[in-house]
Amino acid sequence: MARTRGYKSWIAHNKAVLEQGIRKHINNVTKPELVAYLRNVAQQLVDTIDGNTFAIPVYTGNLKDATGVGVYVDGVMSAFMPTKTAIKKQSAGASVTGESRPYIFGSEFLAASLREASTTFSTGVWLVIFSAVPYAYKINTEGSPKGQGKGYWDAIVNEVIANLKPLDKL
Across the chain, mean pLDDT equals 75
Structural domain contains residue 29 = no
Q: Is residue 145 part of a domain?
A: yes
Residue range of the domain that includes 61:
39-169
Distances (CA, A) of 6 to 2, 14, 15, 19, 137: 6, 12, 14, 20, 60
| Three-class HEC string of 83-133 | CHHHCCEECCCECCCCCECCCEEHHHHHHHHHHHHHHCCCCCEEEEEEECC
Position 28 in a domain? no
The count of domains in the chain is: 1
Q: Which residues does residue 117 pair with via DSSP β-bridges, in sequence order?
A: none
pTM (predicted TM-score) = 0.68
99: left (phi over 0), alpha (psi -120 to 50) or beta: beta
Give the count of beta carbons closer than 10 Å to the beta carbon of residue 20.
Answer: 10
82 within domain boundaries: yes
pLDDT in tens, 85-138: 666 554 555 445 555 444 444 556 666 777 777 888 888 888 888 777 777 778
The mean pLDDT value for 144-166 works out to 79
Report the candidate in 75, 76, 79, 77 with the shortest Cα–Cα distance to residue 44: 79
Domain presence at residue 24: no
Quick check: is 153 in a domain? Answer: yes
Residue 20 lies in a domain: no
The reply to whether 31 falls in a domain is no
